[in-house]
Chain A
Amino acid sequence: MERIPILRMGRFLLVTIQVDMHDQLALALQDDLTQRIVKDRAKGVLMDISSLDVVDSFIGRMISNIANMSRVLDAHTVVVGMQPAVAITLVELGLDLAGVRTALNVEKGMALLQAFEE
C-alpha cells in the first residue's frame, strides 16, 4: 500500500494530501505522523488539503485525531487550503473541527506555526 509522504521543514512536518484517500491510507497517515512527530521532535504539523475536493466525516475525524495527537505530543497542527465547497459542506454535515486551526495557504500556515513557537 502506498503511504502519504511526510516532509520535514525545520521543526515542522508538512503533509500534502493529493489523492482520494481510502480508509486504510488515512489510518496509516495518522500512525506515520504520530511516529514522525516523536522521532523528529516536531513542534508543528502543516496539513495541506488544497487538493481535497471532498472531506467526509471519516477524513474529518482523521484530521481531528491528528490535531489531538499532536497536541498531546506538544505540537500544533494547522490545516491549510480547505476548498470553499468543502468548508460549506462540512458545516452542513455538522462536522465541527473544533481545536483544528486553519490557514489559507502553506505560507500563512507556516507563519501561524512559527507564531506559536514564540
Chain B
Amino acid sequence: MAAGDPGVVELALRSGEDVVRLRQAVRERAVAAGFSLVDQTKIVTASSELGRNTIQHGGGGQAFVAFVVAGNKRGVRLEFVDKGPGIADIALALSDGFTTAGGLGLGLSGAKRLSDEFEIESKPGEGTRVAITRWKS
C-alpha cells in the first residue's frame, strides 16, 4: 500500500491524539466494510495497539488504512510503518508479556490474535513494518 493509492487513507502517527484519530478512521472503514460490531471492535483495538507501538517504539511513523477484496471476501487492511530502531528478535517481541516499555507486552501479540492475517518486517536499524488484515465474517 502507498499513499496516493486510491482508497488508502494515510495517517501520521506522532502523538496520542493521532492514535485517537487512527481509531476513528479504522472504525469508519470497518463500518463501511460491513463488519459486525465485534469485528469492528477487534480491528480498532488492534490498530490502537499497533499505532501506539509505532509511536512508543518506532519514534513515530505512518498508518495506512484500506479496503481489501479477495474473491468474494471483503475486509480492511492496516499497515504501520516507522523508521525507528527496528526489532532485533521478532519471535521474542511477539511473545506475550514481553515489553521494553513497561507495558503489558500484549500489543504485538494481541494485534496478531485479533487479526485474520498478520505480517511483520523489521531489522535493527531498518525500521519496522506491520500489516494486519481482518475479513468480514
Contact = CB atoms under 8 A, between A and B. Distances in A.
Interface of A: 20-25, 53-58, 60-61, 83-86, 88-89, 92-95
B106 A93 contact: yes
29 contacts: A20-B20, A21-B20, A22-B16, A22-B17, A23-B19, A53-B44, A54-B23, A54-B41, A54-B44, A56-B45, A56-B48, A56-B49, A56-B52, A57-B110, A58-B103, A61-B103, A85-B37, A88-B38, A88-B41, A89-B41, A89-B42, A92-B42, A92-B110, A93-B49, A93-B106, A93-B113, A93-B114, A95-B104, A95-B106
Given A22-B17, A89-B114, A57 B38 contact: no
Contact of B41 (A21, A53, A94): A53
B41 A61 contact: no
Interface residues of B, number: 26
A113 B44 CA distance: 32
B122 interface: no
Nearest to A25: B16
A60 B104 contact: yes
B107 interface: yes
A89 B45 CA distance: 8
A21 to B, nearest CB: 8
